[in-house]
């Protein structure tokens, strides 16, 4: 039986009030996590941007978008790790292309 894989896109926002070294460490952590469990198609670092509305009294965030291909079980684990990581303000994972 073949492994089912889907194409996903995730965007996460890191707290921009952290030191640049801390932001880079969080970005590297998620990049290595995704590389270990999926194939990265594209990484786009948008950098520091003003938020449309404040999140936890923060008005700026450091945006990172990653496009990857993985098995359907991995995005749930990625979302769980986003939720327990200190410094992540928001995250979103969407299915770009589903295996048919």
Residue 2's pLDDT band, with cuts at 50, 70 and 90, is low
The pLDDT assigned to 4 comes to: 79
Q: Which residue ranges make up each domain of the chain? A: 6-97
**pLDDT (tens digit per residue) in 20-74:** 999 999 999 999 999 999 999 999 999 999 999 999 999 999 999 999 999 999 9
**pLDDT (tens digit per residue) in 75-92:** 999 999 999 999 999 999
Residue 100's pLDDT band, with cuts at 50, 70 and 90, is low
Containing H/E element for 83?
Answer: helix 74-84
Task: Say which CATH topology domain 6-97 has.
Answer: Alpha-Beta Plaits (3.30.70)
By three-state DSSP, how is residue 4 classified? coil
Which pTM value belongs to this model? 0.89
- Decide: 10 and 93 in contact? Cβ < 8 Å: yes
Sign of CA dihedral 35, 78, 44, 96: positive
Around 51, how many Cα atoms within 13 Å sit in the side-chain half-sphere?
18
């Amino acid at each position: 039986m073949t492994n089912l894989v889907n194409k996903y896109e995730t965007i996460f926002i890191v707290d921009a009030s952290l030191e640049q070294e801390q932001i880079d460490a969080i970005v590297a952590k998620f990049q290595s996590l995704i590389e270990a469990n999926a194939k990265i198609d594209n990484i786009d670092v948008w950098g520091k941007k003003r938020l449309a509305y404040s999140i936890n009294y923060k008005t700026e965030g450091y945006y990172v978008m990653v496009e990857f291909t993985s098995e359907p079980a991995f995005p749930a684990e990625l979302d769980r790790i986003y939720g327990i990581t200190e410094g992540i303000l928001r995250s979103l994972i969407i299915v770009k292309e589903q295996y048919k």
